[in-house]
């Protein structure tokens, strides 16, 4: 009985020490990981947007499951483009997150993959910027974001159609959300009353 109690105490002590060590490691690594992710996100934004002088972030539905962050690039006072992330769970090996950049006309200017777990040599090849060109050149919200095998406008890598479908799914979801959020993202346009043709009401000479 005594030996059993000693063994239980030793196991409890080992578990406590291990838990403390893991907590300490987590504390040391959490901030560097956060900074690395923020840096990767910033680099992706710069890669997908047209050249800009200033960058602003706007978060909608903070804390909600459908929380969305939009990055707006400006040149002087004009908006040159908007970037946002989108995620699809249809990847061959799990979720795929992409950064989508639009120019001022709403046409895709660039796409970058932020994270994935696809097969090296196949689905992982989509992470190369030159491969992603096939996804976005000349395309916008009205394009058919499906691979050619499914009747869409996107050429998928041979042997990696599942990953291609997932990227298309992420882009389509991102566009759907972006279009729904337009009223909150764009500043209201002032309505200027039409000039009256009645000289009396317009202050002219009768």
Q: What does each C-alpha distance from 203 to 80, 193, 195, 196, 200 come to in angstroms?
A: 41, 15, 11, 9, 5
Asked if 71 and 49 count as a contact pair (C-beta separation under 8 A), the reply is: yes
**Whole-prediction pTM:** 0.72
| Tokens coding 11 | 């196991």
State mean pLDDT over 124-144: 82
User: How far is residue 100's CA from residue 112's CA, in Å, rounded to a whole number?
Assistant: 7
Per-residue pLDDT at 22: 63
If one compares 196 and 74, the residue with the highest pLDDT of the two is 74
| pLDDT higher than 70, residue 187 | no
Listed by start position, the domains of the chain span: 44-185
Q: Which residue has the tokens 């769970």?
A: 89
Residues 6+ apart with CB under 8 A from 87: 95, 96, 97, 98, 170, 173
Q: What is the DSSP track for 70-116? A: EEEEEETTEEEEEEEEEEEEEETTEEEEEEEEEETTSBEEEEEEEE-
| pLDDT higher than 90, residue 84 | yes
Per-residue pLDDT at 112: 92
Residue in 95, 85, 92 with CA at minimum distance from that of residue 38: 85
Per-residue pLDDT at 77: 76
Question: For residue range 157-170, what is the model confidence (pLDDT) as tens digits?
Answer: 888 889 999 999 99
| pLDDT higher than 90, residue 49 | yes
The chain-wide mean pLDDT, for the chain, equals 79
Per-residue pLDDT at 4: 66
State mean pLDDT over 81-96: 92
Asked if 170 and 178 count as a contact pair (C-beta separation under 8 A), the reply is: no
pLDDT classification of 20: cutoffs 50, 70, 90: low
User: How far is residue 97's CA from residue 101's CA, in Å, rounded to a whole number?
Assistant: 13
If one compares 153 and 112, the residue with the highest pLDDT of the two is 112
Half-sphere exposure of 79 (CA within 13 A, CB side): 17
pLDDT classification of 177: cutoffs 50, 70, 90: very high
Half-sphere exposure of 170 (CA within 13 A, CB side): 28
| pLDDT higher than 80, residue 116 | yes
State mean pLDDT over 78-107: 91
Identify any residues that bridge with 108 across adjacent strands, giving them in sequence order.
Answer: 102
If one compares 185 and 160, the residue with the highest pLDDT of the two is 160
HEC-encoded secondary structure of 35-81 = HHHHHHHHHHHHHHCCCCCEEEEEEECCCCCCCEEEEEEEECCEEEE
- Among the residue ranges 11-15, 46-50, 63-67, the one predicted with the least confidence is 11-15
If one compares 20 and 112, the residue with the highest pLDDT of the two is 112
């Amino acid at each position: 009985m005594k030996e059993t109690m000693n063994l239980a105490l030793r196991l409890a002590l080992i578990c406590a020490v291990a838990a403390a060590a893991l907590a300490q490691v987590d504390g040391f690594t959490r901030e560097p990981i956060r900074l690395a992710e923020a840096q990767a996100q910033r680099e992706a934004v710069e890669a997908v947007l047209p050249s800009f002088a200033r960058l602003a972030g706007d978060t909608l539905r903070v804390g909600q499951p459908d929380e969305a962050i939009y990055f707006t690039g400006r040149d002087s006072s004009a908006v040159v483009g908007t970037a946002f992330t989108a995620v699809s769970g249809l990847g061959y090996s799990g979720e795929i997150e992409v950064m989508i950049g639009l120019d001022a006309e709403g046409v895709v200017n660039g796409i970058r993959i932020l994270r994935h777990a696809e097969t090296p040599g196949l689905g992982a090849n989509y992470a190369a910027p030159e491969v992603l060109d096939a996804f976005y050149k000349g395309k916008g919200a009205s394009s058919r974001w499906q691979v050619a095998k499914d009747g869409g406008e996107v050429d998928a890598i041979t042997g990696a159609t599942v990953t291609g479908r997932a990227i298309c799914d992420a882009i389509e979801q991102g566009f759907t959300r972006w279009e729904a959020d337009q009223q909150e993202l764009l500043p209201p346009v002032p309505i200027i009353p039409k000039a009256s043709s009645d000289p009396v009401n317009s202050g002219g000479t009768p």
